[in-house]
Amino acid sequence: MDDTIIGGTIEGSGRSLLLFGGSGQVGRQLRLALAPLGTTIAPTRAEADLTDPDLLRAIIEHVRPLVIVNAAALTNVDQAERDPTLANAVNATAPGVMAEAARRVGALFVHYSTDYVFDGATRVPYDEEAQPNPINSYGRSKLAGERHVAATDVPHLIIRTSWVYSVTGSGFVASLLRDLPGKSTMRIVADQVGSPTWSRSLANATAALVRTAIRDDAIVLNPSDWGVYHLGGSGEGSRVEIAETVIDALSDRLVERPTIVPISAAAFGALAPRPHYSALSNFRAAKRFGITLQPWRAELQRMVTEEYS
């Protein structure tokens, strides 16, 4: 494989990190957050087709990185419901292939999962010991991916997160920022609660976890520290509360303050069911490594202030 295909020099001195999904909202931030840890190689989506296991194996065998971070996934929940075969290929099979290849080259494997592995039948933030019970194809495919990784004898960190947002893309917050100017009313789902998570903070927390797991050019992560970690914005909030926070942060830039009309998820009419409650407790990362994310409202306000123009 031509070195230039995968975005940079892959031979020579220094440690390398291989990032899948580097063009996504988390991946773009990971490029920055991981940079101090070594040369980060990020194949594009076309160069690393997640439905092609042989290609994934070849990339990993060629690069032979110290760390592999998989931020690539099929995250469109309704698309996953329409095409569960594709969802399983990307979200379940591909991570297992990556983990097996990571084991063969002696790499640490870091993989992202989701709060949607839970059914939402509680009102207490889910910790890492909570029993998963996904209610849609997306959640089932991501849980299968977790289990494929965990079944592989490779040093691994599985990071579950919740309601990731950034200023760009097709997510809820980015859509809000595009739609707010000129809107007098907005219909917002009110009966779903999660832990809104800024992509920059998630990437920085991930880099902090990786930093604890490697030293010089070796993996020093104790096997007792392998496994699942929750990293979501601290606290919990509904989509209505997110919208109110964004509007407050933009109050001096809006001609008029839109009126929020709360609606139910059923009235919104999405194809795939979503858990009504999926807030996360970040207990394990805080206890073992002292890594926490800040309260989500302050983080969201900061993102709007620093990144939205």
Question: Who contacts 26 (Cβ-Cβ below 8 Å, separation ≥6)?
Answer: 71, 112, 164, 199, 202, 203
Active site annotation includes 138: yes
- Residue 177: pLDDT band (50, 70, 90) is very high
Cβ–Cβ under 8 Å, residues 8 and 36? no
Backbone dihedral angles phi then psi of residue 102, each to the nearest 5 degrees: -60, -40
Portion of the chain with pLDDT greater than 90, in percent: 88
DSSP string, 217-270: TEE---GGG-EEEE---BS-EEHHHHHHHHHHHTTTT-SSPPEEEEE-HHHHT-
Short-list 266, 273, 271, 284, CA closest to 134: 273
Query: Is 51:94 a contact under the CB 8 Å cutoff?
Result: yes
Residue 171 has, within 13 A of its CA and on its CB side, a CA count of 21
Q: Reduced to 3 states, what is the DSSP secondary structure of residue 111?
A: strand
| Position 6 confidence tier, pLDDT thresholds 50, 70, 90 | very low
Give me the mean pLDDT over the 28-37 stretch: 97
Q: How is residue 38 written in tokens?
A: 């070594």
Q: What pLDDT sits at residue 48?
A: 97
Q: Is pLDDT above 70 for 1?
A: no
Average of per-residue pLDDT across 31-58: 96
Nearest residue to 291 (alpha-carbon basis) of 33, 70, 68: 33
- In contact, 295 and 236? CB cutoff 8 Å: no
Q: Tell me, what's the pLDDT at 7?
A: 38
Task: Look up residue 158 and give its two tokens.
Answer: 């599985």
pLDDT of residue 3 exceeding 80: no
Model confidence at 95: pLDDT above 60:
yes
Q: 148 near 180, Cβ under 8 Å?
A: no
Q: Active-site residue among 112, 138, 229, 277?
A: 138
Range from 53-62, 82-91, 223-232, 249-258 carrying the lowest mean pLDDT: 249-258
User: What is the set of domains in the chain, with CATH numbers?
Assistant: 3-307 (3.40.50.720)
Distance, CA of 202 to CA of 189 (rounded, Å): 24
Give the pLDDT of residue 253.
86
Q: Where does the pLDDT of residue 254 fall: very low under 50, low under 70, confident under 90, or very high at 90 and above?
A: confident
